[in-house]
Amino acid sequence: MTKISALTDVGSSLNAADAFIIQTPGDASDPNKKVTVSGLAEYLGVEISPYYSDIMVDTTPLIWNQTNDNYYEYRNTLNVTSFAGPSNAGAGYTTQPDLRVQSYMRRVGLHPSGFVTYYLDGANSEYLAGDWLEIFEGENKAGNGTTNNYIREGVNAWVSGTTYDFRNRVIHNGAVWECVSPTTTSAPASGTVSASGLIRATTSGNVMVEVPEFYVRVDWTDGLSWNNAAGADVSGEYKLLNPSGMSSLDPLRVYYVLPKAQYDELGAGEQAKWLRHPAFWASGDASADCTVYIDGTNGVEFEPSPYVSQRDASGVTRVWDGGAFAYFTSSGTVASSGDFDSSSAIRYRYIAAYQGTTDGSKLQSITASGVYTNHTRATGLSRARAIASGWANGDYALWNACQLLTLMEYRNFYIQDPTVGIGRGRDDWNNLGGYRDYQLGVLNDKGNTTFNNTTDGRNSTAGSDNLATMQWRGVENYYASTWRWCHGFNLGDTNGNCNIALNPDNFADNTAANYEIAGQIATNLLSDHQGGFNDEAGMFFLPQAGGTASSYVTDAAWSSTGWRILGVGGNSFNGANCGPWTFLANRDSSDSNISFGSLLSR
């Protein structure tokens, strides 16, 4: 008999007819059966493939080939469906996107210290939420439907007489609800207390959209992939899948996103292949957890932010006040470190619900008339910092997190298209009414939902493009209307270095000090619709030319030589150039313009 040690190791080179010897327990016969690779695959309910696949990760990926603008739908097998271009993909998907992370986005009042003072009603921001918050499950697009199976998985019907705790979710009257009070026995219902005074002033905090932490994985099939474990080899083991017919050298990007709860359920080996999104890195994290292998080989370590809020399962929040940690209960009273349970804590970042206004000294996010424009990026930062430490007028890492969540929701880049995305919004109104003098809070009655005040992306019942307001998950005028200065990003020197910083204490113009180079872009982009991204890791969305208004990355990019600062989203005169990936890096730090404003972030 041949010893196992003497056998030839074929690795993963298996054929369907290859067989393994097995024995049935209780059968006295000496190995009496065999099983083939094809039989084992049929028993497990998986397809035979020569490629590695994370079939046990319960989520839906986005798969995109940036060389030919093809999208692929992964239907729990490696036999995928191909779509040519974003319109065909968005209209052709049959599987649902995983919207669990997005379902935790909601409008809140945020105290200057960084803890939540109130929740706005999920369906109408003119009211405060009661004990329960109705959860928006997504638009009926891109295979989603009116309900989302990922969000509803494991959620039971509300039961009368049961005591529910903070974060508990139930289904009631056809909707998903989340408990936002410490405990309750009441039935889920919309809020009835007016929030009018709160959302029109900053007395109880600015109106922000809460974004929960999530984990991300981006794979290429061209030999590069995120190398998320220190010293790990970038190899086939680090690829989720190769669709049938794809070469191992095709530049196919595979994006996956997981909520923290699902990431925590992965084994240690699987967790090593994922990375907490950099927007949620916090002081105290290990060096390995703050490192991205941008080129697939060399690690780039970023300095994390100390201002990332963390809230535990009882509602106690830990925040950094610039000098020490402070703790607050869900009702806003001061707590102690012993009241905070780090094991159940989730990290949160905050993006403004509205375009920025000002009281003359501080940047604000409130329902108001008129937008604060015609100021430099540095002035906007100064007015954000006047609120408290940790505030800024835009944060590239947070903006990037929102870009990625948008991409995963619609699974294409054509977000301006109302059929497969959100629609164009206010992007054709070339006067002060378009840039500055317009009403904020037009869509307050839409709460945390995604909505477009047009039917076709242009003019409709709104009467004119002046009122064609749109919002994504509570972020009103997510793009178009007014350019948003964005900090944490400096385009520097003639090499087109993209310098990124995560710690808002380090935000400054015209410098690479305390910034890290995340990649390079061409310095001659001029209203070029993007054809793909230049960063090897695929996450920072550093633009390159080659697209059109309806293909590839459908948003425009500008760049120039020398030190340049960043504006995002576009304005009310940029038309089809606008969108979440619109990237303006041809302005210098002294620039101020009537079409440029600032968006609060923390």
Which of 223-232, 364-373, 483-492, 535-544 is predicted with the least confidence, judged by mean pLDDT? Answer: 223-232
Amino acid identity, position 507: F
Q: What is the pLDDT of residue 144?
A: 81
Tell me: pLDDT of 598 over 80: yes
Kindly list the distances between the CA atom of residue 225 and the CA atoms of 62, 63, 400, 566, in Å, as whole numbers in the listed order: 15, 14, 19, 27
Which token pair is 57?
Answer: 């990760």
Query: What average pLDDT does this structure show over 22-32?
Result: 68
β-pairing verdict for 252-259 and 183-184: unpaired
Within 8 A by CB and 6+ apart from 564, the residues are 490, 491, 492, 585, 586, 587, 588
Q: What is the pLDDT of residue 288?
A: 85
| Residue 462 or residue 278, greater confidence | 278
Tell me: pLDDT of 456 over 60: no
Q: What is the pLDDT of residues 577-589, one digit of tens each?
A: 999 999 999 999 9
Q: In terms of C-beta density within 10 A (0-12 exposed, 13-18 middle, 19 or more buried), how is residue 225 classed?
A: buried
Q: What is the pLDDT of residue 8?
A: 72
Using pLDDT thresholds of 50, 70 and 90, give the confidence band for residue 75. Answer: low
Q: What is the pLDDT of residue 248?
A: 46
Which of 338-347, 401-410, 486-495 is predicted with the least confidence, judged by mean pLDDT? Answer: 486-495
8 A C-beta contact, residue 376 and residue 398? no
Which token pair is 457?
Answer: 């992306």
Q: What is the pLDDT of residues 385-431, one digit of tens each?
A: 999 999 999 999 999 999 999 999 999 999 999 889 998 888 887 77
Query: What average pLDDT does this structure show over 50-72?
Result: 73
Distance between CA atoms of residues 166 and 1, nearest Å: 63
Distance of CA 279 to the CA centre of its chain: 9
> Looking at residue 252, what DSSP letter applies?
E
Q: What is the pLDDT of residue 343?
A: 94
Q: What is the pLDDT of residue 163?
A: 98
Which of 61-70, 77-86, 198-207, 254-263 is predicted with the least confidence, judged by mean pLDDT? Answer: 77-86
DSSP letter string over 378-428?
HHHHHHHHTT-TT-EE--HHHHHHHHHHHHHHHSSS-TTSTTTSS---S--
Query: What average pLDDT does this structure show over 245-254?
Result: 56
Which of 36-40, 117-121, 596-600 is predicted with the least confidence, judged by mean pLDDT? Answer: 36-40
Q: What is the pLDDT of residue 219?
A: 67
